[in-house]
Amino acid sequence: MSRNLVALIRRHHEQGAPTALEVLKIALEDHGEITDDDRRLASERSGLPEAAVHGVSTFYDDLLAPRGRRHVRVCTGTACFAATAGDHVTALSEGLGCALGARSDDGEVSLAETVCLGFCHSSPAVRDGETIDAGAGVVERVLAGTTSAAAEPTPLSVLDLPVLLAPAHDWIGLRYAVSTRGPESLLEEIKAAEVRGRGGAGFPAGAKWEFARRAEGERKFIVANGDEGDPGSYIDKLLMEDHPSLLLEGMALAGYAVGADHGFVLTRSEYPHSKPELELAATTARAAGILGPAVLGSRFSFDVTILEGAGSYVVGEETALLACIEGLRGTVSSRPPFPAQRGLYGMPTVVNNVETLCNIPMIARDGAQAYRELSPASATSGTKLVCFNERFRRPGVYEVCFGTTMGELCLELAGGLVDGHEIKALQIGGPLGGLLPGWKLDTPFDFEALATEGCMLGHGSIVAFDETTDMRALAVHLLHFGAAESCGKCFPCRIGLRRAHEMFLGTTPVRRDCLEALLETLELGSLCAHGGGMPAPIRSLLAHFPEELGLT
Amino acid sequence: MTLTIDIDGTETEVAPGTTVLEAVRAIGGYVPTLCFDERLDAFGACRVCMVGIEGLTVPVAACTTLCRDGMRVDTRDETALRVAAATVELVLSELPGPPAQHTELAVVANALGVDGGELRWPGEQHEHVHDERHPYLALQHELCISCGRCVRACDEVQGAFALTATGRGFGSNIAAGLDEGFRESACVSCGACADTCPTDAITELTLLALDSEEASGAL
């Protein structure tokens, strides 16, 4: 990330100026496209040079898709693929008379691809204007103009006293922290609790906090990563929309422990309700004296800003996330420097996943010991939210214990698949996770056990493919996503994912030796986990379903 | 305080904060690079400067890896060189033809033994778009490999901020200003971008070339 650009926009930010991305998004909402005048205005208001604004306006999906008077966004996430093999996209495009990514000649309607709307429990999903409809008959309803907001299943915790899905939220952890315990003591408690990051990498949260606490900086920031881009995952969506104050408490606790007085949440534009729900919760908390200049009457000051992204998977990577919050292109930066040393606007910054931060209030309230004991069958502390796709009989978000087997989760909790279908394979933890074949459901749901099978816990989404899934089509689906979402910074990912996708397109046999050499280049050469991780499910397909891939 | 590191069997002392690439170059060693320019901050994009480090199972990019005391660096590590060569092969596959022999890309491809003959991963190439609206600077977009050197030179050396990366993924490229060409942008015609470009995507039109084109009526 350019230090000069950050210095330029930081001065504007400190004066309360919007970011270039915010100005561009407002222009788009206002008149459906972005003009050079909009770019000049964004440059003037944000302090970002015109060329850099142009770069931003060509990076994010939302800013690129042409908009008709009626803008339809069709979900092409992995759960929607598992449900229809992509048929809903074709049907919608033909029915609307509009190609994917295009606007009709008369400007009446436009159809854009979106990944993913987080309605994986009721795939396929379509956003028609502001309404997200999903499930059987959705294409017909869009074509008839009779869409209505899809319902969401009730989440369920396996615990008697849910940690992440508690029906009522108190602020006891924060109250106790700011009134009677010091920041160092809270930090020690979080370290003792051994909280591993829930966003995918599993890095210890306490260690991250400690780096930021010890770092030099005139200000420090807490950033909640709400850019839950994994197709198939709608866990953070639930937390941000139904438990927003739990997240705000986790952020305030992080701020107290680290010495930060401000936090940012980056939500996704694919989840239109997240930002308003968080803003409402923040307003309520400010009115109650919980957020603001004297948190719960203490000398600790903490407030939050809620920002929304504009369509980019890689923005979920922490350095790209910070760039997006600053209104820049959401590309990855090499580390060091780590965000804890030089993060948002050059200041020491803690970046934690939304769910990770939602674990913090319970630890602050009940202590590290109680937290470590939540998953008796596992060495991993705490509980985890998982979510299931529409292929299951009882899809939804569940709070579960680490160490439960995949079979218990999929067959008992989620009830197995609908209509007597069989689990051919599961993709766990997002698009960078390997595939677990249906005959390995005895694998425990835990960091190390899944890694042994070439899979990962990731963020906890569980997408089932049934026996009708064509595994070569799945490879095309995954690699299309991988190539489309590459930020374009590092060469192996920028070119390699495109080439991998091209290899599987059509019916030409795929040379296995060439494919494996390409996968190795991606795995070892890529700058971030996107290029490094996209080969994992392809490796699984090679290991478990080679006969379906058309290899030579 | 200095750190002692070993590069291909040669011990050397470096100051804390020195990158592996800087240390290798300081003793006269060679690691190929494409996105690196010593006048600019390390970027870590091209992944061609891969080296092996004793104790690590995977190679690392030398330009963004800091030296640690006791580190043992292997610039001839087989896996590192295989990944670097494959990456350069990918780069050649996105270009319309072999790189001009005087370019850094050609030098690096030769050093890694990538001849550009039969490519393992052929595929789509960049669209042929030439921008010659500026009197001295020409842009050939199909030759851009998105190394970011021109954008960073404009930012870090000249402070003009006239250039940007555009698009994303395989569609990434560069633009001046609001894609209006150098002339209408904040460009001050310093030529730092053309000077650093490793592929001729940005070149300075010489007066000689201008003369001959004018003579032939091409301009």
Q: Which residue of A has its CA nearest to B94?
A: A495
Residue that the structure tokens 């350019």 belong to: A2
User: Rounded to the nearest 5°, which phi and psi values hold at A134?
Assistant: -160, 160
* Nearest CB partner across the interface for B165, out of A55, A335, A499: A55
B203 part of contact set with chain A, CB < 8 Å: no
Cβ-based neighbour number of residue A483 at 10 Å: 22
A309 part of contact set with chain B, CB < 8 Å: no
- For the stretch A318-346, pLDDT in tens is 999 999 999 999 999 999 999 999 999 99
Amino acid at A523: E
Q: Which residue of A has its CA nearest to B79?
A: A524
| Contact flag A487-B175 (C-beta cutoff 8 Å) | no
- Separation CA B142–CA A433 (nearest Å): 34
- Separation CA A220–CA A261 (nearest Å): 7
pTM of the model: 0.96
Query: B74: which strand partners?
Result: B52
Closest C-alpha among B88, B33, B213 to residue B138? B213
Spell out which residues of chain B touch residue A483, defining contact as CB-CB under 8 Å: 169-170
User: Rounded to the nearest 5°, which phi and psi values hold at A65?
Assistant: -70, 125
A494 part of contact set with chain B, CB < 8 Å: yes
- Separation CA A71–CA A73 (nearest Å): 7
Structure tokens that stand for A481 in this block:
């996503």
Residue A134: which residues within 8 A CB-CB, separation 6 or more? A117, A119, A122, A123, A124, A125, A126, A150
* Nearest CB partner across the interface for B177, out of A50, A486, A494: A50
Angle at A220 between CA A215 and CA A221, to 5 degrees: 130
Spatial contact of A491 and A497, defined as CB atoms under 8 Å apart? no
- Separation CA A542–CA A345 (nearest Å): 43
User: Rounded to the nearest 5°, which phi and psi values hold at A314?
Assistant: -65, -15
Residues 106-145 in B contacting A (C-alpha not used; CB under 8 Å) = 120-121, 123-124, 145
Structure tokens that stand for B149 in this block:
């050197």
Q: Is the pLDDT of residue A418 over 80?
A: yes
Q: Is the pLDDT of residue A375 over 70?
A: yes
Closest C-alpha among B89, B41, B86, B90 to residue B63? B41
Domains and CATH numbers, chain A: 3-58 (no CATH), 70-144 (3.40.30.10), 156-372 (3.40.50.11540), 383-466 (3.10.20.600), 471-548 (1.20.1440.230)
- For the stretch B43-97, pLDDT in tens is 999 999 999 999 999 999 999 999 999 999 999 999 999 999 999 999 999 999 9
Q: Which residue of A has its CA nearest to B50?
A: A525
Residues 496-525 in A contacting B (C-alpha not used; CB under 8 Å) = 496-499, 502-503, 511, 514, 517-518, 520-521, 524-525
* Nearest CB partner across the interface for A51, out of B84, B93, B186: B186
Closest C-alpha among A182, A177, A252 to residue A222? A252
Closest C-alpha among A487, A160, A186 to residue A319? A487
Q: What per-residue confidence (pLDDT) applies to B219? A: 41
- Separation CA A238–CA A153 (nearest Å): 10
| Contact flag B120-A488 (C-beta cutoff 8 Å) | no
Q: Exposed, middle or buried by CB within 10 Å (0-12, 13-18, 19+), for B22?
A: middle
- For the stretch B98-146, pLDDT in tens is 999 999 999 999 999 998 788 999 999 999 999 988 988 999 999 999 9
Residue B78: which residues within 8 A CB-CB, separation 6 or more? none
> Distance (Å) from the C-alpha of residue A296 to the closest C-alpha of chain B?
43
Radius of gyration of chain A (CA): 23
- For the stretch A207-247, pLDDT in tens is 999 999 999 999 999 999 999 999 999 999 999 999 999 99
A150 part of contact set with chain B, CB < 8 Å: no
- Separation CA A167–CA A183 (nearest Å): 28
Q: Is the pLDDT of residue A50 over 80?
A: yes
| Contact flag B45-A485 (C-beta cutoff 8 Å) | no
- For the stretch A122-135, pLDDT in tens is 999 999 999 999 99
Q: Strand A383-388 and strand A461-466: pairing?
A: parallel
> What is the pLDDT of chain A when averaged over all its residues?
97
| Contact flag A495-B91 (C-beta cutoff 8 Å) | yes
Residue B218: which residues within 8 A CB-CB, separation 6 or more? none
Residues 38-97 in B contacting A (C-alpha not used; CB under 8 Å) = 41-48, 50, 58-59, 61, 64, 66, 79, 82-84, 86-87, 90-91, 93-94
- Separation CA B137–CA B204 (nearest Å): 5
> Distance (Å) from the C-alpha of residue B36 to the closest C-alpha of chain A?
13
**Cα separation values, A364 from A71, A281, A372, B71, B153, Å:** 45, 20, 13, 41, 48
Amino acid at B5: I
* Nearest CB partner across the interface for A52, out of B145, B164, B179: B164
**Cα separation values, A526 from A332, A497, A512, B50, B101, Å:** 11, 10, 21, 11, 27
Alpha helices, DSSP H, located in A20-86: 20-31, 36-46, 50-57, 61-64, 78-84
> Distance (Å) from the C-alpha of residue A312 to the closest C-alpha of chain B?
10
> Distance (Å) from the C-alpha of residue A156 to the closest C-alpha of chain B?
39
- Between A373 and B212, whose confidence is greater? A373
| Contact flag A502-B47 (C-beta cutoff 8 Å) | no
Q: A424: helix, coil or strand?
A: strand
Specify the length of chain A in residues. 552
What spatial distance separates the first Cα and last Cα of chain B, rounded to whole Å?
60
**Positive or negative CA dihedral for A130, A131, A135, A137?**
negative
B198 part of contact set with chain A, CB < 8 Å: no
Closest C-alpha among A79, A126, A132 to residue A241? A132
| Contact flag A486-B169 (C-beta cutoff 8 Å) | yes
Q: Is the pLDDT of residue B213 over 90?
A: no
Residues A293-309: what's their mean pLDDT?
Answer: 97
Segment holding A537, helix H or strand E: helix A535-544
Q: Which residue of A has its CA nearest to B174?
A: A55
Spatial contact of A295 and A248, defined as CB atoms under 8 Å apart? no
Residues A14-21: what's their mean pLDDT?
Answer: 96
Spatial contact of A138 and A147, defined as CB atoms under 8 Å apart? yes
Residue B163: which residues within 8 A CB-CB, separation 6 or more? A51, B150, B151, B154, B155, B174, B175, B176, B185, B187, B193
Spatial contact of A427 and A456, defined as CB atoms under 8 Å apart? no
Structure tokens that stand for B159 in this block:
């402070």
> Distance (Å) from the C-alpha of residue B7 to the closest C-alpha of chain A?
21
- Separation CA A131–CA A109 (nearest Å): 15
Structure tokens that stand for A484 in this block:
């489309």
| Contact flag A494-B146 (C-beta cutoff 8 Å) | yes
| Contact flag A526-B47 (C-beta cutoff 8 Å) | yes
- Separation CA B210–CA B104 (nearest Å): 24
User: Rounded to the nearest 5°, which phi and psi values hold at A202?
Assistant: 75, 20
* Nearest CB partner across the interface for B124, out of A485, A502, A526: A502
| Contact flag B170-A55 (C-beta cutoff 8 Å) | no
**Cα separation values, A23 from A27, A48, A52, A56, A489, Å:** 6, 11, 14, 11, 24
Residues A57-77: what's their mean pLDDT?
Answer: 96
Spell out which residues of chain B touch residue A49, defining contact as CB-CB under 8 Å: 161-162, 186
A491 part of contact set with chain B, CB < 8 Å: yes
Spatial contact of A161 and A193, defined as CB atoms under 8 Å apart? no
Spatial contact of A329 and B146, defined as CB atoms under 8 Å apart? no
The answer for A30, left when phi > 0, alpha when psi is -120 to 50, beta otherwise, is alpha
Q: What per-residue confidence (pLDDT) applies to B209? A: 63
* Nearest CB partner across the interface for A498, out of B59, B83, B124: B124
Q: What per-residue confidence (pLDDT) applies to B212? A: 54
Q: What per-residue confidence (pLDDT) applies to A367? A: 97
Q: Is the pLDDT of residue B218 over 60?
A: no
- Separation CA A480–CA A388 (nearest Å): 22
| Contact flag B168-A526 (C-beta cutoff 8 Å) | no
Cβ-based neighbour number of residue A476 at 10 Å: 20
Q: B210: helix, coil or strand?
A: helix
> Distance (Å) from the C-alpha of residue B192 to the closest C-alpha of chain A?
16
A488 part of contact set with chain B, CB < 8 Å: yes
Query: B203: which strand partners?
Result: B138
A58 part of contact set with chain B, CB < 8 Å: yes
Q: What per-residue confidence (pLDDT) applies to A200? A: 86
Closest C-alpha among A390, A81, A486 to residue B146? A486
A365 part of contact set with chain B, CB < 8 Å: no
Domains and CATH numbers, chain B: 1-123 (3.10.20.740), 130-216 (3.30.70.20)
- For the stretch B149-190, pLDDT in tens is 999 999 999 999 999 999 999 999 999 999 988 988 999 999
Spatial contact of A407 and A430, defined as CB atoms under 8 Å apart? no
> Distance (Å) from the C-alpha of residue A480 to the closest C-alpha of chain B?
11
User: Rounded to the nearest 5°, which phi and psi values hold at B82?
Assistant: -65, -45
In A258-330, where do the E strands start and end?
A: 262-267, 303-308
Residues A486-494: what's their mean pLDDT?
Answer: 98
| Contact flag B156-A483 (C-beta cutoff 8 Å) | no
Specify the length of chain B in residues. 219
* Nearest CB partner across the interface for A334, out of B44, B155, B156: B44
Residue A539: which pLDDT band, with cuts at 50, 70 and 90? very high
> Distance (Å) from the C-alpha of residue A545 to the closest C-alpha of chain B?
23
